[in-house]
Amino acid sequence: MITASQQKEDFNVPPEIDNQWCPGCGNFPILQTLKKSLQDLDLKPQEITLVSGIGQAAKLPQYLKTNYFNGLHGRALPVATGIKAANPEQTVIVTSGDGDVYGEGGNHLIHTIRRNPDITVIVHDNMIYGLTKGQAAPTTQEGMVTPTQPEGVIDEPINPVALAISLDAPFVARANAGDPKETQEILSKAIKHKGFSLVDIFQPCVVFNKVNTYEWFKEHTYYIEENYDVGNRTKAFAKSLEEDKFPLGIIYAHDRRKTFEDAIGMYATDKRPLYKREVNCSVRSALLASQK
């Protein structure tokens, strides 16, 4: 007899694929949490495309059995937008690091939120550049000593949650990799939410960040109360500015905005993804002739 758990899709990659993360890295619980979320949502590997840039966090798509695309540093979001536009039937998830999304990809983040494609962006926020051995990242806290800031970081860290809310992103949440149960619930809701979803996940780097550890994130965070109004943008923005203890959970969510796929003309009368459509050679020839 096949049990319900055995019917869940197997997202495990072959054992010969060697994981390159450090033992104890916060990326491991994010990988396992995302896997469980995809299973609980009854998604199949072929229905999912993971997209990432460059970095330790950006390796995650290689350790999960789905479609995936690894792009240039900071360029995951435009690729994900294009994939979703070409095939709205795909569940498109960006999973990359805070340096990749907020640093090299910061400008793409702003304009992707403006476009509002129906994608989920999971950011592994360890407040450091892990791949390149400990340089300060956009989220590194002021005063932290790093190999390239020996006298301490002088730049104010970016607040990605406040930024996303200021741009009216439809779904904005923060999670902690050390709390897999709560993080899984947040990820599942983010993936199901229609429109751009940002989930900033605090993720310890056990080698190059000795300050923001599992214990530090536990002590400096709290979960938002159950009666909190996620649709109140003013209160959500105020909540995003709290830093003595960082709020965890869904901070802002609404369904007021039309998605990028719904807004562009190619799906106005034909909802089929591009690969399911026949090429009209006569129209294409006419277009080419008009360009000569």
Residue-wise pLDDT for 14-27, tens only, equals 888 889 999 999 99
Give me the pLDDT at residue 207, please: 94
Give me the pLDDT at residue 1, please: 39
Record: fold of 8-290: Rossmann fold (3.40.50)
Q: Is the pLDDT of residue 7 over 70?
A: no
Least Cα distance to 146 among 133, 159, 131 occurs for: 133
Across residues 170-191, what is the average pLDDT?
Answer: 98
Give me the pLDDT at residue 2, please: 42
Rounded CA-CA distance 163/140 in Å is 16
Give me the pLDDT at residue 8, please: 74
Rounded CA-CA distance 26/190 in Å is 20
Q: Is the pLDDT of residue 56 over 70?
A: yes
Q: Answer with the residue of higher pLDDT: 5 or 259.
A: 259
Residue-wise pLDDT for 218-272, tens only, equals 999 999 999 999 999 999 999 999 999 999 999 999 999 999 999 988 887 887 8
What are 28's two structure tokens? 């491991």
What are 160's two structure tokens? 């990605």
Residues 6+ apart with CB under 8 A from 196: 112, 113, 115, 116, 117, 118, 119, 121, 169, 170, 171
Question: How do the domains of the chain map onto residue ranges?
Answer: 8-290
